[in-house]
Amino acid sequence: MKPKLFLALLLGTLCLKVTAQKNASADISSDSKLTVSRFIYGQFAEHLGHGIYGGFWVDKDLPVEKQDRIRLDIVNALKKIKIPDLRWPGGCFADEYHWRDGIGPRDQRPRMVNTNWGNVTDDNSFGTHEFLELCKLIGCEPYIAGNVGSGTVEEMAKWVEYLNLDGESTMAELRKKNGHPEPYKVTLWGVGNESWGCGGNMTPEYYSNLYKRYATYARDYPGAQLKKIASGPNSADYNWTEVCMKNIGTGMWGLTLHYYTVPTGDWGHKGSATNFNEGEYISTMVNCLKMEELVTKHSAIMDKYDPEKKVALVVDEWGVWTDVEPGTNPGFLYQQNSLRDALLAATTLNIFNNHCERVKMANLAQTVNVLQSLILTDKDKMLLTPTYHIFDLYKVHQDAKYLPVKLNSPDYEFNGNKIPAVNISASQDAAGKIHISLVNLDPHNTIKVSTSLGDLHWNKVSGQILTSANLTDVNTFQSPDKVHITNFNGAKKEGGKLSVALPAKSVVTLELN
């Protein structure tokens, strides 16, 4: 071959490659009877660091608006994004928490040492009634994790009775004495937490038998049929899922899955929340995308024993876990929250939306001041993190009709790693509006996404976007709105298709009318 001809062919190939890397295509179908459960957008509040004390529950003299000691700016922020449920009191804390210590006059409640998280003293001033008042103010459902690790069957049974019995019993009378004549009717109950680890270091065989014992005595009372959620696997422990599905089957409403994205993959040195390079960024996203594999494989095991998909996969702990901020208590798990973490949250929610046939509930870890928080506080100051804004963008999918998407995406490659640059999910709300959420993980290139919508009719499109100049950008108390939602004008109708110019490192939610 002549040198000039070879060079021309080589240049032509390179040009085609560059062009191909900047384009994606998607086909969205209306052929679905599935619903994206609003409970996929749940949150988690553990007695850990300043999540409860100094977060939701503040000193009576702190100069912020509050009801009792519940901080109302946090309540209002969570109401805005319509959080469906709040998980409490843990986490690892749940299996050393004894609920009777957290009721009655606060000055008479016993103090305890939080041995899981920093050995700090918990005065039990935030207990069952305070938590349920918080949920009432937010307008969300309470999700209570019962103590299986160090508690008893009777203890959990009496907690359910205390909260749910509309009748006469010692427990019901005690609830009335403590200021709540009507039953709370709490239906979401976790039967233990991480029973393979901090919840008791059990085998799946032992736990699944223990679950059945606890679940037997956690009674349904009129108007409060319990949704009992078993403590499921850690990450890729497929044997745990197999044993629980074989031994419990549809005797549970849901089975949990816990998976955290550790940027480095090394729990000894997880990586910084704010000081990372592009190599660490792509490794974070590689680890984030493992959620797709985990959900797929655990769902396949569940399908063997539950082909009708009656049992929910409940991913009630997920998110990015980095090293704590320098100078903070390592037991408090306080980390900053960057644009990278927002991209991770959006990608994960797209995965859950696209698996809504099995994933019917999830809870980000955690809501305030702990891990991948929605909200950070410092005394009377409060800010919304980039991750909070993702939940604001994605709230349109709650309880909407799921729209299946077939996506062809270019790759984003760096440092020997390769991932799809674009991910997506779509739904249609009760009013007929179509919502499409797109993520571009490529930090350098705008990607044009051409989308066909089949028999779905629409005339106009509007959108919102979350992005920033740098992947490491964060909101601080000095600059609380550095990363925020703005209007997006990069989508249009083009020859019957939806054409979107999706900026680098961005999350976009579109509304089609």
Catalytic residue among 194, 292, 357, 413: 194
**Does 317 participate in catalysis according to the annotation?**
yes
Token pair for residue 5?
């001809």
253-286 in b/e form (b: 16+ CB < 10 A) is bbbbbbbbbbbbeeeeebbbbeebeeebbbbbbe
Catalytic residue among 141, 317, 413, 494: 317
Q: What are phi and psi of 381, to 5 degrees?
A: -85, 150
**Does 155 participate in catalysis according to the annotation?**
no
Question: Which residues lie below 8 Å from residue 456, measured CB to CB, with a gap of 6+?
Answer: 28, 30, 403, 428, 434, 512
Peptide bond into 478 cis (omega under 30): no
CB 355 within 8 A of CB 299: yes
Question: Which residues lie below 8 Å from residue 279, measured CB to CB, with a gap of 6+?
Answer: 414, 415
Rounded Cα distance between 334 and 327, Å, is 10
- Rounded to 10°, the helix 290-305/278-288 angle is 10
Rounded Cα distance between 312 and 397, Å, is 18
| DSSP tag of 323 | P
Amino acid, single-letter form, for residue 254? G
Q: Kind and range of the H or E element at 423? A: strand 422-428
Quick one: 107 exposed, middle or buried, by C-beta within 10 A (0-12, 13-18, 19+)? exposed
Q: Which residues are catalytic?
A: 194, 317
